[in-house]
Amino acid sequence: MRERFEPLMNTPPQIAREKLAGLKHLNSTFDWIDGHPYEVARIFYDYALMFTRFFTLEEKEITVIQQVSDKIQKSPHKSAPLFRTNFEKDCNLICDTVFGIADSTSNIYQVAVADLTQRMISAMELKAQNLAPSDTDPRFANVIWGHVLGNAGTPSLDAYFIPAHLFERFLTARLMGTSLESFTTTKDWTFAVYDAVVGLDGVRNIGAAARLLPIWRLPRPLGLGWISYVEIDAYIEICKTNGLISK
């Protein structure tokens, strides 16, 4: 599978740099991307592995994810078991699509990038108005916000942030007009997959998740802040209870 990401090593995807030119705070991130092709390819590859790993989880692992979700009262739209129920029969389509992101010349990629950049630019425009995200404010329904919070001088941080959202926009574009489209309309819908695998495998120091967990768990501006210490502690506790981590 890794060979499919070799194009990213030779020519890192220009993640709409020209379209995001007005977001000056991302200039250092794009400079980092330009200068670190192998690291960029690995980041993309690690996120792709979240999907292939997700669809091969064992029942005991799915049970742990559900127990963690129940314990911390996770939002239903971040439910990994529900995601699996909705997409399991189409897992080959999902995984093939994910690895297709390496072709930055495809029409789907262009649609995804246009969607991504518009959402990121909209977030910056709202921040310029001194507005804060609110679930009740429709202006925030279609924005990608985290990048506006800064990276504490660590340009590689948003090199993890942008691909995570690009994968979601890419899958959304691919599934548009299919029977699966209705499952893609909720904001951050793919984060059910990321969150589950990063939590479950990250606390056990397994595979790509172990590489992603450190930057996921630190809050902005030091990290992405996408998985809380409460959730990490819950994974450790419940993995031990279910025999997935030695007590």
Number of structural domains in the chain: 1
For the ranges 5-9, 42-46, 165-169, the maximum mean pLDDT occurs at 165-169
178 pLDDT more than 90: yes
Show the domain range for 209.
2-241
Q: Which residue has the higher pLDDT, 50 or 7?
A: 50
Q: Say what the pLDDT of residue 152 is.
A: 83
Question: Does 230 map to a domain?
Answer: yes
Question: Does 246 map to a domain?
Answer: no
Q: Say what the pLDDT of residue 239 is.
A: 97
pLDDT band at residue 161, thresholds of 50, 70 and 90?
very high
Task: Report the percentage of the chain scoring pLDDT > 90.
Answer: 61
b (16+ CB within 10 A) / e for 41-60 = bbbbbbbbbbbbbbbebeee
What's the pTM? 0.91
pLDDT tens-digit profile of 81-140? Answer: 888 988 999 999 999 999 888 887 889 988 998 899 899 999 999 999 999 988 889 999
Question: Does 169 map to a domain?
Answer: yes
Question: Does 39 map to a domain?
Answer: yes
- Rounded to whole angstroms, the Cα distance separating 156 from 186 reads 27
b (16+ CB within 10 A) / e for 109-121 = bebbbebbbbbbb
pLDDT tens-digit profile of 60-86? Answer: 999 999 999 999 987 766 688 888 988
Question: Which token pair is 182?
Answer: 């209705």
Q: Say what the pLDDT of residue 234 is.
A: 97
b (16+ CB within 10 A) / e for 166-200 = bbbbbbbbbbeeeebeebbeeebbbbbbbbbbbbb
pLDDT band at residue 30, thresholds of 50, 70 and 90?
confident
* Mean pLDDT calculated for residue range 26-54: 89
* Mean pLDDT calculated for residue range 15-21: 66
Q: Say what the pLDDT of residue 110 is.
A: 87
Side-chain half-sphere CA neighbours of 87 within 13 A: 29
Question: Does 35 map to a domain?
Answer: yes
Q: Say what the pLDDT of residue 79 is.
A: 82
Kindly give the interhelix angle for 27-35 and 157-175, rounded to the nearest 10 degrees. 90
Q: Say what the pLDDT of residue 15 is.
A: 57
157 pLDDT more than 90: yes
Q: Say what the pLDDT of residue 111 is.
A: 92
Question: Does 145 map to a domain?
Answer: yes
48 pLDDT more than 60: yes
212 pLDDT more than 60: yes
Coil, strand or helix at 50: helix
Question: Does 220 map to a domain?
Answer: yes
Q: Say what the pLDDT of residue 103 is.
A: 81
Question: Does 157 map to a domain?
Answer: yes
Do 224 and 231 touch, CB atoms closer than 8 A? no
4 pLDDT more than 70: no
171 pLDDT more than 70: yes
State which amino acid sits at residue 98: V
